[in-house]
């Protein structure tokens, strides 16, 4: 162990349990430890004492904040940092897997495709860091961790702090090494004062050289001799040590290793683009005239081959350059990921063109047979091909369609690429297609046809007929409004989403995509009558709808009519051709609504969670947490919640899941600690704290842990009573249900009087009547409660019929339960479910169903069905 191990262990004992040392470098010693708060393994890097003395705690903690802001799929995240008993440290995830150095020492040079993939990941990470003003200064195999097929760049933790300290003369006196000699750029070797991000570009060149040849470009007996070589010697070409390296790739590496920074690649983005086009000879492209002809066996395969050959001729006429398919045809899957196009115009006002181009290509491909289309979600930047490839790989796609667009005088030009996800090779490149800036839709239509033909050749999937797909793109102004509407959707601005969709419909009444967007907005705003009108219009044009719009129609109709099984079937059928992670998660959500938690676990267990991490989507882990809880598998429920919280630490729904599973499993001490942390968290609004503690109490009642439930009910009420009157009135049912669950009927009645009955009936008079009936039942006025229940049944309501029916049935069940008419309550609740009432976890946490707990027909009704 390094000197001071016992002192370090003692200094961090309240937060981390240090297990063992796992490595040392020039700057830090690395330990694996247990994070006691989050019950997870982490890696702790502790700065060497001499470096810590140079930097100082204040500078270290101030500068490392920059690192904490770096969020990127190929950068090892920073969990924590600090100073303890003179030790300066920072905490990262513990990666199960070897470093790139370990891999090289075991196996030597890498296969070319693997080397390029790792280099793309490293360069992509550096590009992100450079944009935030952070230069790594120590890129080497030791600082690249391998997790599956993914590379993670580590040790950004001290880069900026060391950089700031490098001007301090004590750094030289203390012998602090600002880099590693074998990977130092010439300007680092000569201690030049103005070192910038291009030093990292040079280090990538050294790294690439070593990955491809098994040795660095300069190897000498002493560090001084290596540094001198960086300054004065020209490295041998990569091809001298490995003749199979493509010449184009060798040239990319050589340019990284130029002595003068101005002669290298000037940005990581520029280098990344070069790497993405040179993974195979001739820049990854084989001319069409030399396209290999694959043998086909059955008659069906011969037909496919004839059609594909015909499309090759069309491709030649249209300017499509295709790479040879290579390998076994059985390895070519017909799942294709389609990205928005990257904006290279320099004009942010043209950002929508990239989404329009990607969407129109995707819609064309969806209409073909035997293709599964996966759109890259808007949260992934089309500028990062590495992230797009990683997302496509994790979702099982074989090909990625991406592209760029740029300006030439008064026109815009689109250029599309087709890449092999497995190895990052460029399989096809389309010649640029130009169009008018005033109306680029004809160019986008041509782009779509050419991509479809190219995909047909690469995959042997038949494009049934270009005339079968949706006609020419809609009015450009309408498409732009549609694009802005979807941007509003991802910002959860549903009124803006609705307004944009309506504008698009007015600009082009034949644009079905705008109608689907409008129906979605109205559905989210619970304006179901208006949504129904639009859906009926779409149904009258069903023959003109593409697969995506047809699915949307079936799903909306199922939920609005209360036929959730039909909506769930539509989602499952669509996912078979369109395996978007958001839709896979919707399959799980539908299963929860139908009280089928085992189906949730089966669905998500078969899905790769990496896309959800990339998308920043915590709902994958929320659904797993809830499903395990409903099945009584509380240990796995806690594990799923914590896995999600490790990625999305502030997610209130995951915190709720952890609390419910801890409470149900009887881990009271840990539960109390976690509730204390949550209830005092300044990051969570008090109204949410009160609500979640109330849910915990209701869940404990459900599990007949009444003593603990009473404690947390009192705590929830205490939190809710600290809210301002307006905040309490904003969510009146929280306080109302808390008082009733605690048996404090007079307080519930007084609260209704204080906030006003209208607060409970802003959506519909049915809610107002329901609250009045419950107050009557609580006072023992059974006849009045029954009369009000009858008035609920007779009440007129302008909302959508099935929504009104399920709301009435639900209230009738609640009132019957309050009056101890258990069988009647269960029957009304059964009918409400048949009308589309959602189950999910909220049924499990309903205060108004407490009177039915233990009643056998009720328990059978709410028992998980799958």
Per-residue pLDDT, 702: 92
- CATH architecture for residues 477-555: Alpha Horseshoe (1.25)
Task: Please check the confidence at residue 279 and state whether its pLDDT lies above 60.
Answer: no
Nearest-5° Cα angle at 85, 83 to 88 = 30
In whole numbers, what is the pLDDT of the chain averaged over residues? 80
Confidence band of 158 (pLDDT split at 50, 70, 90):
low
Site of tokens 């799958």: 866
CA pair distance 829, 69, nearest whole angstrom: 49
Closest CA to 745 of 782, 779, 719, 770: 779
Question: Whose CA is closest to 123, among 428, 389, 426, 338?
Answer: 389
* Whole-number Å distance between alpha carbons of 298 and 460: 14
299-318 and 441-459 helices, crossing angle to 10°: 140
Residue 505 token pair: 């419909």
Length of the chain: 866
- Tokens for 5, please give them: 């191990």
Q: Which CATH architecture has domain 580-862?
A: Alpha Horseshoe (1.25)
In CATH terms, are 477-555 and 580-862 the same topology? yes
Residue 824: what are its φ and ψ, rounded to 5°?
-65, -40
For the domain made up of 100-283, give the CATH fold: Transferase(Phosphotransferase); domain 1 (1.10.510)
Distance CA 338, CA 400 (A): 6
Structure confidence at residue 468 (pLDDT): 38
pLDDT of residue 160: 57
582 and 617 in contact (C-beta within 8 Å)?
yes
Q: Is the dihedral of CA 518, 520, 524, 528 positive or negative?
A: positive
Q: Work out the number of other CB atoms within 10 angstroms of the CB of residue 14.
A: 9
More confident residue, 820 or 69: 820
pLDDT band with cut points at 50, 70 and 90 for residue 554: confident
pLDDT at 470 over 70: no
Lowest mean pLDDT among 186-190, 220-224, 368-372, 460-464: 460-464
Half-sphere exposure of 242 (CA within 13 A, CB side): 22
Q: Which stretch of 146-150, 566-570, 654-658, 721-725 has the lowest confidence by average pLDDT?
A: 146-150
CA atoms 502, 503, 504, 505: torsion sign: positive
- Of residues 758 and 238, the one with the higher pLDDT is 238
| pLDDT for residue 170 is more than 50 | no
Q: Taking the CA atoms of the chain, what radius of gyration do you get in angstroms?
A: 31
- Say if residue 319's pLDDT is above 70: no
The confidence score (pLDDT) of residue 614 equals: 62
How far is the C-alpha of 177 from the C-alpha of 362, rounded, in Å?
Answer: 51
Residue of 545 and 41 predicted with greater confidence = 41
Rounded distance, CA 386 to CA 791, Å?
Answer: 61
User: Tell me: the pLDDT tens digits for 677-689?
Assistant: 988 888 888 989 9
The single-letter DSSP state of residue 651 is -
When pLDDT is averaged across residues 399-423 and rounded to a whole number, the result is 83
Tokens of 157: 């933790």
Q: CB–CB of 210/216 below 8 Å?
A: yes
Beta bridge partners of 126: none
Lowest-confidence region among 384-398, 656-670, 740-754, 762-776: 384-398
pLDDT greater than 50 at residue 811: yes
pLDDT at residue number 302: 28
Q: What is the pLDDT of residue 176?
A: 45
Bridge partners (DSSP) of residue 419 are: 400, 426
Annotated domain spans of the chain: 5-93, 100-283, 288-470, 477-555, 580-862
Question: Half-sphere exposure of 602 toward its Cβ, with a 13 Å CA cutoff?
Answer: 8
Region 482-505 average pLDDT: 86
The alpha carbon of 25 is separated from its chain's Cα centroid by a whole number of angstroms, namely 34
**What pLDDT shows up at residue 717?**
94
d(CA 842, CA 115): 49
Q: What is the pLDDT of residue 404?
A: 85
Provide CATH code, domain 288-470.
3.40.50.10070
Q: Which residues are catalytic?
A: 138
pLDDT band, residue 638 (cuts 50/70/90): very high
- Give the model's confidence band at 97: pLDDT under 50 very low, under 70 low, under 90 confident, else very high: low
Q: How far apart are the first and last CA of the chain?
A: 53
Q: Are 623 and 654 in contact (CB under 8 A)?
A: no
pLDDT band at 296 (very low <50, low <70, confident <90, very high): very low
Q: What percent of the chain has pLDDT over 90?
A: 27
- Residue 458, pLDDT score: 63
Top-confidence residue, 441 or 318:
441
Strands 335-338 and 433-436: unpaired
Q: Do 719 and 693 meet the contact criterion of CB atoms below 8 Å apart?
A: yes
Q: Do the beta carbons of residue 171 and residue 158 sit within 8 Å?
A: no
Identify the band that residue 245 occupies on the pLDDT scale cut at 50, 70 and 90.
confident
Q: Give CA–CA dist 28/30, Å, rounded.
A: 6
Output 434 or 281, whichever has higher pLDDT: 434
Long-range pairs for 47-51 at CB < 8 Å and ≥24 separation? 47/87, 47/88, 47/89, 47/158, 49/4, 49/86, 50/174, 50/175, 50/176, 51/27, 51/158, 51/162, 51/165, 51/174, 51/176
For residues 450 and 320, is the Cβ–Cβ distance under 8 A? yes
Count of H-run helices and E-run strands, the chain = 40, 15
Token pair listed for 600: 């949730």
Q: What is the mean pLDDT of residues 384-397?
A: 79
**pLDDT above 90: residue 131:** no
Q: Is residue 534 within a helix (H) or strand (E), and if so which, with residue range?
A: helix 528-539
pLDDT, mean of residues 665-672:
92
Q: Contact, 29 vs 44, CB < 8 A?
A: no
Mean pLDDT of 224-241: 89
Give the residue among 614, 604, 519 at the shortest CA–CA distance from 560.
519
| Low-confidence winner among 49-63, 390-404, 771-785 (lowest mean pLDDT) | 49-63
371 SS3 class: coil
Q: By mean pLDDT, which of 68-82, 295-309, 756-770 is the weakest?
A: 295-309
User: Which among 402, 369, 366 has a CA at the least distance from the CA of 552?
Assistant: 366
pLDDT tens figures, 83-96? 888 888 888 888 76
Which range among 454-463, 488-497, 753-762 has the greatest average pLDDT?
Answer: 488-497
Q: Rounded CA gap, 379 and 845, in Å?
A: 33
The Cα 482–Cα 501 span in angstroms is: 6
Average pLDDT over residues 252-275: 89
How does residue 773 score in pLDDT terms, banded at 50, 70 and 90?
Answer: very high
Q: Tell me what percent of the residues of the chain surpass a pLDDT of 70.
A: 84
Q: How confident is the model at residue 203 (pLDDT cuts 50, 70, 90)?
A: very high
Asked if CATH classification 1.25.40.10 holds for the domain at 5-93, the reply, yes or no, is: no
Say which residues have a Cβ less than 8 Å from residue 439's Cβ, sequence separation at least 6.
476
């Amino acid at each position: 162990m390094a000197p001071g191990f016992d002192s370090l262990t003692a200094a961090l004992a309240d937060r981390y349990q240090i297990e063992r040392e796992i490595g040392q470098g020039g700057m830090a010693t690395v330990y694996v430890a247990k994070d006691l708060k989050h019950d997870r393994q982490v890696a702790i890097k502790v700065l060497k004492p001499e470096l810590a003395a140079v930097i100082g705690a204040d500078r270290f903690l101030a500068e490392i904040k920059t690192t904490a802001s770096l969020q990127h799929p190929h950068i090892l995240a920073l969990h924590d940092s600090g100073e303890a008993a003179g030790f300066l440290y920072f905490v990262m995830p513990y990666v199960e897997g070897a470093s790139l150095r370990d891999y090289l020492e075991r196996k030597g040079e890498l296969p070319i495709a693997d080397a390029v993939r790792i280099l793309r990941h490293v360069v992509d990470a550096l590009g992100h860091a450079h944009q935030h003003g952070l230069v790594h200064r120590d890129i080497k195999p030791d600082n690249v961790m391998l997790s599956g097929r993914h590379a993670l760049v580590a040790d950004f933790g001290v880069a900026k702090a060391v950089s700031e300290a490098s001007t301090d003369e004590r750094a030289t006196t203390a012998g602090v090494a600002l880099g590693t000699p074998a990977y130092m750029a010439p300007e680092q070797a000569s201690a030049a004062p103005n070192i910038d991000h291009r030093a990292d570009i040079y280090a990538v060149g050294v790294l690439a050289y070593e990955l491809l040849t098994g040795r660095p470009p300069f190897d000498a007996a002493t560090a001084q001799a290596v540094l001198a070589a960086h300054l004065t010697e020209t490295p041998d070409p990569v091809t001298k040590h490995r003749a199979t390296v493509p010449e184009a790739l060798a040239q990319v590496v050589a340019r990284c290793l130029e002595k003068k920074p101005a002669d290298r690649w000037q940005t990581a983005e520029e280098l990344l683009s070069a790497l993405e086009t040179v993974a195979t000879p001739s820049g990854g492209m084989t001319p069409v005239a030399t396209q290999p002809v694959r043998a086909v066996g059955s008659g069906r395969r011969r037909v496919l081959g004839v059609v594909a050959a015909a499309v090759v001729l069309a491709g030649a006429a249209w300017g499509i350059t295709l790479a040879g398919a290579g390998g076994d045809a059985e390895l070519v899957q017909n799942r294709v990921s389609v990205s928005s196009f990257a904006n290279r115009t320099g004009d942010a006002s043209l950002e929508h063109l990239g989404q329009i181009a990607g969407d129109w290509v995707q819609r064309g491909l969806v209409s073909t047979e035997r293709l599964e289309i996966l759109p890259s979600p808007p949260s992934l930047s089309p500028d990062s091909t590495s992230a797009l490839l990683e997302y496509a790989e994790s979702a099982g796609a074989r090909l990625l369609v991406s592209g760029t667009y740029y300006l030439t005088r008064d026109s815009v030009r689109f250029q599309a690429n087709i890449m092999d996800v497995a190895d990052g090779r460029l399989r096809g490149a389309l010649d640029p297609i130009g169009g008018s800036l005033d109306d680029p839709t004809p160019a986008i239509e041509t782009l779509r046809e050419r991509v479809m033909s190219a995909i047909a050749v690469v995959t042997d999937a038949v494009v049934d007929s270009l005339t079968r797909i949706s006609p020419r793109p809609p009015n450009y102004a309408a498409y732009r409004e549609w694009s802005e509407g979807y941007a509003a959707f991802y910002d959860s601005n549903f009124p803006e989403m609705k307004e944009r969709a309506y504008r698009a419909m007015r600009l082009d009444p034949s644009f079905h995509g705008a109608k689907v967007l409008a129906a979605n907005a109205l559905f989210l705003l619970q304006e179901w009558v208006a949504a129904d009108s639009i859906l009926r219009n779409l149904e009258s044009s069903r023959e003109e709808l593409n697969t995506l719009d047809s699915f949307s129609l079936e799903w909306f109709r199922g939920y609005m009519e209360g036929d959730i099984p039909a909506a769930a079937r539509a989602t499952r059928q669509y996912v078979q051709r369109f395996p978007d992670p958001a839709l896979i998660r919707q399959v799980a959500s539908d299963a929860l609504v139908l009280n089928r938690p085992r189906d949730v676990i089966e669905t998500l267990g078969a899905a790769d969670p990496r896309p959800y991490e990339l998308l920043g989507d915590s709902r994958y882990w929320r659904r797993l947490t809830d499903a395990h809880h409903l099945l009584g598998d509380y240990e796995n429920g806690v594990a799923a919640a914590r896995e999600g919280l490790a990625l999305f630490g502030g997610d209130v729904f995951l915190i709720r899941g952890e609390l419910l599973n801890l409470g149900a499993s009887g881990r009271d001490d840990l539960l109390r600690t976690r509730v204390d942390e949550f209830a005092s968290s300044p990051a969570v609004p008090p109204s949410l704290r009160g609500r979640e503690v109330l849910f915990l109490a209701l869940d404990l009642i459900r599990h007949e842990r009444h003593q603990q439930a009473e404690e947390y009910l009192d705590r929830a009420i205490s939190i809710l009573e600290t809210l301002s009157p307006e905040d309490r009135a904003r969510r009146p049912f929280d306080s109302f249900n808390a008082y009733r669950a605690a048996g404090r009927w007079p307080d519930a009645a007084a609260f209704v009087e204080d906030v006003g009955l209208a607060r409970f009936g802003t959506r519909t008079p049915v809610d107002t009547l329901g609250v009045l009936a419950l107050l009557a039942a609580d006072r023992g006025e059974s006849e009045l409660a029954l009369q009000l229940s009858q008035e609920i049944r007779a009440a007129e309501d302008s909302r959508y019929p099935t929504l009104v029916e399920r709301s009435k049935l639900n209230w009738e069940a609640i009132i019957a339960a309050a009056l101890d008419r258990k069988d009647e309550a269960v029957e009304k609740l059964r009918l409400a479910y048949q009308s589309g009432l959602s189950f999910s976890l909220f049924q499990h946490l309903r205060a108004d169903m407490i009177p039915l707990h233990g009643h056998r027909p009720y328990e059978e009704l709410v028992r998980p069905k799958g």
